[in-house]
Amino acid sequence: MKILRSQDGSITQDIEKIKQRMSLFADTVTVEMEEKTKEVFGESLSPMESVKRIVNDVREKGDDALKFYSDKFEKIALPIDDFRVKEDEIEEAYKKVSPDFIKAIKNARENIRIFQEYIRVREPKPFYSNGTRIIVNYKPIEDVGIYIPGGTASYPSTVLMNAIPAKVAGVKKIVVVSPPCKDGTISPERLVACKESYVDEIYKIGGVHAIAALTFGTETIPKVDKIVGPGNIFVTLAKREAFGYVGIDILAGPSEVLIITDDTANYAYVASDLLSQAEHAPGVSILVTCSEELANKVIDETSNQLSKLPRGNLIKESLDKFGVIIITRDLDEAIDISNTLAPEHLQVVVKNEEEVLPKIKHAGAIFTGSFTPVAVGDYVAGPSHVLPTGGTARFFSGLSVNDFLKRTSVITYSEDVLRSAAKDIITIAEAEGLEAHAQSVRIRVDK
């Protein structure tokens, strides 16, 4: 991990470089991705060029394009009829996971459900003012698609964190797309999580073509109204391309944690938190502390714990590329750095957190105290772990039940009320050069 000391001079440029590495569209395209793209298209294309080509093909050719790209990218020649997961596959999945896993999923589901119901926006009473009546309605989005990544991890928690808020909102149909394993199946953990989260349909398909299918619909996969869920740079770009045809949640980059500590923090806990974030491979792990002694202990402990982890090589690569320890003059400087970076996950482990928390301006989620690792939020706490990354916590919030609701205003004016407002409406309309707008009022009041 790289070490920076503010005492050595200005670290403004170093902080700016960290921001660039945390960017949504930072260089997260691997050599393997580049080779695969060239193999499929016969030429070198940028990620955006690849995305546009796949999206257009799926839009124009439907299932034929899905079959082609699934064969090429996932190397699995699934018949179209086998894209949708069948009920007996879900039943079989329950036999392959432990009772403890099922119990944990159910417990996590209930925690998420209870919290999401608690924060669900309520319709206000009708608004009355000078004879005007305005009713505000909140209605659920009808159909939602959820992208669940595959890769080296199973991510049943991501199913829960996307599907349960949608279900609490009252979404009519929830569709999950997820890349299959090499044997053409979806991991039993993901399938069990889907069933326990009341998902209606599951499809064995991933990548850009899955996003395109949800956006435009094909003969097999239904079109949805909104797409949520994380993915790699190609999936993120595909969601950006889909926006406008459908709604999306957020554009997410590599996962990240920033930890603010003083000398009272437990160095072993801090080291474990840095490692857990790096386990996403890539994952950005940043420690900002005013204690050099603690920083040195964390460095030693990180090496010690790393040697015992099964994904140690991947974690080390992530730490070497995205791991940073910043030693500051004081806590105020640490807070300023955090606010500049606006991290996805912020851990605050200090003696007087009540003095620090009011100064925090930007973070996707904040975890306080020695016994609140990010893993609590990842799995069971209740707020969704789908959070803004790459500094976008400055203007985005994490996914919640309210992101699956649409707000509509129902406005009612009586004749008398319209007459009282007519002069103002007409004056503004005429100032804008919209005479027909003004006339739509005159025709009602000039009698």
- Contact call for residues 254 and 282 (beta carbons, < 8 A): yes
Catalytic residue among 280, 344, 362, 385: 344
Catalytic residue among 345, 385, 415, 437: 345
Q: Which of 427, 365, 420 has the alpha carbon at shortest distance from 396? A: 365
Residue 155 CA to residue 162 CA, distance in Å, equals 11
Strand partners, 228: 146
Q: Of all helices (H) and strands (E), which one includes residue 378?
A: helix 374-379
Q: Of all helices (H) and strands (E), which one includes residue 228?
A: strand 226-228
Residue 332 CA to residue 170 CA, distance in Å, equals 43
Rounded to 10°, the helix 207-216/233-242 angle is 20
Strand order through the sheet with 365-368: 2-5, 323-327, 283-289, 255-261, 345-349, 365-368
Q: What are the C-alpha distances in Å from 171 to residues 121, 141, 174? A: 15, 6, 7
Residues 6+ apart with CB under 8 A from 425: 437, 438, 441
**Residue 344 annotated in active site:** yes
Please identify every residue annotated as catalytic: 344-345
